[in-house]
Chains A and B, each alone.
Chain A
Amino acid sequence: MAFSKVLFTLLVFSGYWVRSHRRMVPAQRSAQANLSGAKDAFKVRLSLKTALGDKAYTWNENEEYLFKAMVAFSIRTFSSREKIEISNVLLCNVTKRVSFWFVVTDPSENQTVPAGEVQGAIRMNRNRINNAFILNDQTLEFLEIPATLGPPTEPSTPIWVIIFSVVFCLVIVGIVLLIVSGIRQRRRKSKASTEMTDVEDKCETMVTIENGIPCDTLDSKEGRTNRAFAAGDEKLTPL
């Protein structure tokens, strides 16, 4: 099954290869004209299936007519040669790829338009030529004509600066809150310790007192050092 599939593919390829070579015959007449101006000819390559997938159109003579029209338009606007007609743009070596060579002749001077002019014209109108065929720089390639890349789109403030400012502000607010709450906590603690001693003085009169000591404080398990005796050592006369 797999072997027959491979064989079929190979047969199809060899068929394409033969057919593309056969296609050269009717164009041979204009090819001779091309050969003389070969130095001013450019190769074009289109990748229709890659660009459009299922919606790809077939490359036929009508599409070639549109292409010639776009090239003639470009030359006219770039170098203001008003006598250039669609018939002055010659295509040859059209393959199934799709790729072909083209050259532009100027009837008034009876020679080909120089390569530099053609290059300049195509570069200037590249966007419109691409759009006419619903393709882009990678799928409609003019070999040896460098593309003009669009300028890099940078917003006025880069996005990372915006996100950074947000994060930074949040962190600063957090730090300030924590420090302020820490200061407040400390103030409350010192206030509470001074208040505690005041409250104890007040409680003295209300709590049952035994021998001058409130009863509830005697409940502590560890016992309490009786300072009266502990401090008494100093009063004893040394031996």
Chain B
Amino acid sequence: MSSILAADTLPGDPKEDERPKWDNKFQYILSCVGFAVGLGNIWRFPYLCQTYGGGAFLIPYFIALIFEGIPLFHIELAIGQRLRTGSIGVWSTISPYLKGVGIGCLFVSFLVSLYYNTILMWVMWYFLNSFQSPLPWSSCPPNENRTGSIEECQSSNTVNYFWYRKTLNITADINESGTLQWRLIMCLVACWMIVYICVIRGIETTGKAIYFTALFPYLVLTIFLIRGLTLPGATEGLIYLFTPNMSILQNPQVWLDAATQIFFSLSLAFGGHIAFSSYNPPKNDCEKDAVTIAVVNSMTSLYASVAVFSVLGFKATNDYWDCLDRNILSIINEFDFPDQSIQRDDYAACFAHLNSTQPDRMAHLQLRSCHLQDFLDKSASGTGLAFIVFTEAIVHMPGSPGWAVLFFGMLFSLGLTSMFGNMEGVLTPILDLHILPRSVPKEFITGVICLVCCLSALCFTLQSGSYWLEIFDKYAASLNLLVFAFFEVIGVIYVYGLKRFCDDVEWMTGRRPNLYWQMTWKIISPLLLLIIFVSYIILITQKQPTYESWNPQYDDFPVKQEKFYPGWVQGICVMLSLLPCIWIPGMALFQLINRRQGKGKNPWSEPYSDKPYEPVQD
């Protein structure tokens, strides 16, 4: 009798009740926004805006957003929400031959996690060093006999010295690996432990952490915006940034960079968004979510560029004043004028007068010409912006340690939210594959993954680590993501079927996708992706890849020396570009062989082939 009573608790319940859920919709939106908004919004977009004619760049950027970014993003969210598994599960369901796309996405997420957390390790190092006044990168340390500063610091400048010597302790060549830097190892371990504590139970814990890590950067950006706009020279920087130069639109490179920027900025094809939306309730308006998150991401980029460029304008003005002051001092010393008798405003007139009356003495002085425009042109992107240009600007701001703490804290939060997405892209498929028995706790699996990543990332703590990071940045992600995104669109629209997909979306959101969605999904986005992919290949293969090394023995030091990658390094570059993509033909071949061999064995008997929710009007 008791066996009948126990019927209520029969293990016939759908598996989906055990699947973790978001606490509320806001958590889900914040996680997706946090994953999309990353370090690239701060240090890549402003640089592109400035290089490509300021306000004019926004035109190709928004066109790419409308025709490429939002449609692809919508597909990812919808397919994850519909099929309710991670990327491997989604692709196995669409077609077993496309399972390789899922495994490739897993690989790329893993590789990107490795080097992305290394950048966070550097951010943490700077963050830890910001709690002192004066900041350690504001002055050169004295040399051995204390007659002056260290030679390397003297010829370049203090921030460069702190970055290349005190932080990276960089070697002059990628062949010389040098030793492991124990300071960086400590920071690396701390970073991976912070990531572990946040992803330890999947979205249960990231959902709580995301409230702080996703909203804190906006607070700091606002503070920097207000402070930046009140600094002298900020308006020059902003005018320079946003002055449109329409002729630049004729250069195809601009369109290519706009499209790639949108693509990488939204973090598409990592599998992270698929994982996030798979934890949603099935009836959720994914169309509105996709448009909202993509627009928020672009607005954040714009907001950040205003803050960044007001500070950069201040820095350029400071550098210009320093240049003027140096020239004025040379003139005063040479002609024995009283101290501070020439003001910055009078410099031009004074210079002209002296040039006409005493040209030979003036020529002997070898004065550098100072133009504000030259200093505004000296922009940087990537780590150069954060660790060199911005740190120098912060040194000149009153209350520098506080600003440094805020800035690096913001960078860390931004990177951490993107890391959550990367880790979900690795974790969710692995958990869905059920490789390990259910009794193994999730904390153990996450711990093992974090440990493996941490040990693999030790190669970036070598002295040549920063060169390797550049290689990973250039080759591991870009091409592979384009390929996966292309297969994503083709797989969902042509293999799964546009009609079936539109039915699913209608079931989930209550509205059928209109003509805009269908046109972009069917034709425009795949075409754009193909064009970008081909252009990328052409650009990469056009010339032999080089890198810039920091070599104090170089004649033109502090200008970086351009060197060619040695043969074995080029081999690794090729391997990094191909390894994730190889899974697609590899798995397809594997499935083909399995099908041919398994006569009588049902080739569709995989854990993901049964769709848990059938549409109502089937």
Report A's interface with B, CB cutoff 8 A. 6, 9-10, 12-13, 16-17, 20, 45-50, 95-99, 146-152, 159-160, 163-164, 167-168, 171-172, 174-175, 178-179, 182-183, 186, 196-197, 200-201, 204, 212-214, 217, 220, 224-228
B194 adjacent to A50 (CB under 8 Å): no
Which size class do B's interface residues fall under? 35 or more
Return B412 CB to nearest CB of chain A, in Å.
11
Contact of B201 (CB < 8 Å), options: A98, A160, A178: A178
User: Inside 8 A of A224's CB, which chain B residues have their CB?
Assistant: 4, 7-8
Name which residue of chain A comes closest to B334, CB basis: A97
Say whether, besides A168-B190, A179-B443, A97 and B128 are in contact (CB < 8 Å).
Answer: no
Q: Mark B1-44, 1 if CB is under 8 A from A, else 0.
A: 11111111110000000000000000000000000000000000
Q: Kindly state whether residue B200 has any CB partner on chain A within 8 Å.
A: yes
User: Contact: A13 with B146, CB < 8 Å?
Assistant: no
Which residues on A sit within 8 Å (CB–CB) of B443? 178-179, 182
Query: Interface digits, B332-376 against A, CB 8 Å rule (1 contact, 0 not)?
Result: 110111111110001001100100000000000000000000000
- Across the interface, do B193 and A98 meet the contact criterion of CB distance under 8 Å? no
Given contacts A17-B337, A96-B337, 5 further A-B contacts (CB under 8 A): A95-B336, A152-B141, A159-B132, A164-B128, A200-B5
Alpha-carbon distance A134/B552, docked complex (angstroms): 38
Q: Which residues of B contact A45 (CB under 8 A)?
A: 333
Instruction: List the 10 closest A-B pairs by CB distance, nearest first.
Output: A160-B128, A95-B336, A149-B142, A49-B340, A146-B147, A97-B336, A49-B339, A6-B349, A96-B338, A149-B146
Beta-carbon contact of A13 and B132 below 8 Å: no
Do the beta carbons of B350 and A178 come within 8 Å of each other? no
Contact B129 A225 (CB under 8 A): no
At the interface, yes or no: B220 with Cβ under 8 Å from chain A?
no
Q: Pick the residue among B3, B132, B338, B346 that contacts A9 (CB under 8 A).
A: B346
B residues contacting A by CB (< 8 A) are 1-10, 125, 128-129, 131-132, 141-142, 146-149, 186-187, 190, 193-194, 196-197, 200-201, 205, 332-333, 335-342, 346, 349-350, 353, 441, 443
How far, in angstroms, from A152 to B196 measured CA to CA in the complex?
A: 38
Q: Is the interface of A mostly helix, strand, loop or mixed?
A: helix
In the complex where A13-B350, A200-B5, A214-B5 touch, is A171 in contact with B335 (Cβ < 8 A)?
A: no
A-B contact pairs, 10 of them (CB 8 A): A16-B337, A97-B332, A146-B147, A151-B142, A160-B131, A171-B194, A182-B200, A182-B201, A212-B1, A227-B3
Contact, CB under 8 Å: B200 / A178? yes
How far apart are A90's CB and chain B's nearest CB, in angstroms? 19
Q: Residue of B at shortest CB range from A151? A: B146
A10-B353, A16-B341 known; A182 vs B5 contact (CB < 8 Å): no
Query: Do the beta carbons of B205 and A171 come within 8 Å of each other?
Result: no
**B147, A147: Cβ atoms under 8 Å?**
yes
A172 near B338: Cβ-Cβ < 8 Å: no
Question: Which residue of A is nearest B205, CB measured?
Answer: A178
